[in-house]
Amino acid sequence: MTDAIAVLDIGMTNKKVVLYSTELALLDEKKRVFAPLMLDGLETHDLAAMERWFLSTLREYSQRFHIKAIAVSTHGATFVCTDSEGNPVAPCIYYTHEPSQDFHERFFALAGERKMLQATTGTPDFSALINPAKGLFFLNERYPRKFTSARWVLSYPQYWGMRLTGKPSAEGTYIGCHTFLFDWERGTYSSVADALGIRDKLSLPIGQAWEVLGTIKPEIAQQTGLPPDTIVTLGIHDSNASILPHLASAAGRDFVLNSTGTWCVLMHPVEKYGFEPDELGKVVFFNRSAWNTPIKTAIFLGGKEYEAWIQIIASLQGHASKDLPAPTQEDYQRVLKEQRYFILPEIVPGSGQFPGSIARAVENGKVFLLSEIEQGRDVPVFLKEPRIGQAVLNLSIVLQTEVALQRTGLAEGAEILTEGGFRNNSDYNRLLASAFPENSIYLTDLKEATSFGTAMTALAALNHIDPKELTRFIHIEKALVAPMLPSETLGAYRNAWHARMQKI
pLDDT score for 319 = 82
Cα separations (Å) of 88 from 152, 162, 484? 9, 11, 52
Query: Among residues 174, 161, 146, 158, which one has the least CA distance to residue 83?
Result: 146
Rounded mean pLDDT, 51-80: 98
Q: What is the 3-state secondary structure of 245-270?
A: HHHHHCCCCCEEEEEECCCEEEEEEC
pLDDT score for 356 = 83
> pLDDT band for position 476 (50/70/90)?
very high
pLDDT score for 457 = 98
Question: Over 60: is that where the pLDDT of 504 sits?
Answer: no
With a CB cutoff of 8 Å and minimum separation 6, the contacts of 170 are 154, 155, 158, 202, 203, 204, 205, 206, 207
Question: Over 80: is that where the pLDDT of 502 sits?
Answer: no
What is the third-level CATH fold of 2-234?
Nucleotidyltransferase; domain 5 (3.30.420)
Instruction: Render pLDDT for 407-423 as a digit per residue (tens, 0 to 9).
Output: 999 999 999 999 988 99
Tell me how far apart the 2 most distant CA atoms of the chain are, in Å.
68
357 φ, ψ (degrees, to nearest 5): -80, 140
Question: Over 70: is that where the pLDDT of 308 sits?
Answer: yes
Tell me if 391 sits within 8 A of 331, measured CB to CB. yes
pLDDT score for 448 = 86
Cα separations (Å) of 313 from 34, 76, 326, 378, 421? 28, 31, 12, 14, 19
Rounded mean pLDDT, 197-201: 98
Question: Domain-by-domain residue ranges, the chain?
Answer: 2-234, 240-301+404-480, 329-402+488-501
Query: Among residues 419, 395, 427, 421, which one has the least CA distance to residue 325?
Result: 427
With a CB cutoff of 8 Å and minimum separation 6, the contacts of 223 are 55, 59
Tell me if 355 sits within 8 A of 301, measured CB to CB. no
pLDDT score for 261 = 87
Give the chain's mean pLDDT: 96
Q: Which of 182-186, 354-358, 372-376 has the highest mean pLDDT?
A: 182-186
Question: Over 90: is that where the pLDDT of 291 sits?
Answer: yes
pLDDT score for 110 = 98
Q: What CATH number belongs to 240-301+404-480?
A: 3.30.420.40
Question: Over 80: is that where the pLDDT of 496 sits?
Answer: yes
d(CA 149, CA 96) in angstroms, rounded, equals: 25
pLDDT score for 503 = 63
d(CA 55, CA 69) in angstroms, rounded, equals: 14
Tell me if 409 sits within 8 A of 268, measured CB to CB. yes
Same fold, 2-234 and 240-301+404-480: yes
Instruction: Render pLDDT for 427-471 as a digit per residue (tens, 0 to 9).
Output: 999 999 999 999 999 999 888 899 999 999 999 999 999 999 999
The pTM for the full model equals 0.93
Instruction: Render pLDDT for 251-260 as a digit per residue (tens, 0 to 9).
Output: 889 999 999 9
> pLDDT band for position 351 (50/70/90)?
confident
Rounded mean pLDDT, 191-218: 98
Cα separations (Å) of 255 from 49, 91, 227, 462? 39, 39, 41, 29
In this structure, which long-range contacts are made by residues 312-321, counting pairs with CB atoms below 8 Å and at least 24 apart in sequence? Answer: 312/373, 312/374, 312/383, 313/383, 313/386, 313/389, 313/390, 313/393, 314/386, 316/379, 316/383, 316/384, 316/386, 316/389, 317/384, 317/386, 319/386
